[in-house]
Amino acid sequence: MAPLTHLKSLQALEMALRTGSLKAAAERLGITPAAVGQRIRAIEDRLGTVLLERGPAGLKAAPELDAAIADLTLAFEALERATLTLDLQRESEIHIVADPDWAELWLQPRIAAFRTEHPNIRFCINGEGDVPLRLGSPDLRVTCDDGPGEPLYSDVFLPVTGPDNTRRIADGIPALLMEGMPLLHLKAQRDRDEVPGWVAWCRRFGQRERGADRGVTYPNARLALTAVRTNVGFLVCGLSFLLEDLAAGTVELPFPAAQHIRAPYPYRLALREGAGKRPQVARFLAWLRDASGTTACEIERWVRQDPPGVRQN
Q: Domain 156-263 belongs to what topology?
A: D-Maltodextrin-Binding Protein; domain 2 (3.40.190)
The candidate with the shortest Cα–Cα distance to 275, out of 87, 28, 12, is: 87
Specify the pTM: 0.72
Which pLDDT score, from 0 to 100, does residue 80 have? Answer: 67
pLDDT by residue (tens digit) across 175-189? 788 888 999 999 999
Kindly report each contact of residues 196-202 with a partner whose C-beta sits within 8 Å and lies 24 or more positions away, as own/partner: 196/157, 196/236, 196/261, 196/263, 197/157, 197/236, 198/234, 198/236, 200/236, 200/261, 201/157, 201/158, 201/159, 201/236, 201/259, 201/261, 202/178
Which pLDDT score, from 0 to 100, does residue 3 have? Answer: 46
Same CATH topology for 3-85 and 156-263? no
Which pLDDT score, from 0 to 100, does residue 135 have? Answer: 65
What is the CATH superfamily name and number for domain 89-152+266-300?
Answer: Periplasmic binding protein-like II (3.40.190.10)
Q: Report the CATH architecture of 3-85.
A: Orthogonal Bundle (1.10)
Assign residue 172 a region (left: φ > 0; alpha: ψ between -120 and 50; beta: otherwise): beta
pLDDT by residue (tens digit) across 38-78? 888 888 888 777 878 877 777 877 777 776 777 777 766 77
Which pLDDT score, from 0 to 100, does residue 224 have? Answer: 97
Which pLDDT score, from 0 to 100, does residue 171 have? Answer: 75
Indicate the domain borders of the chain. Answer: 3-85, 89-152+266-300, 156-263
- Identity of the highest mean pLDDT range in 4-13, 24-33, 135-144, 200-209: 200-209
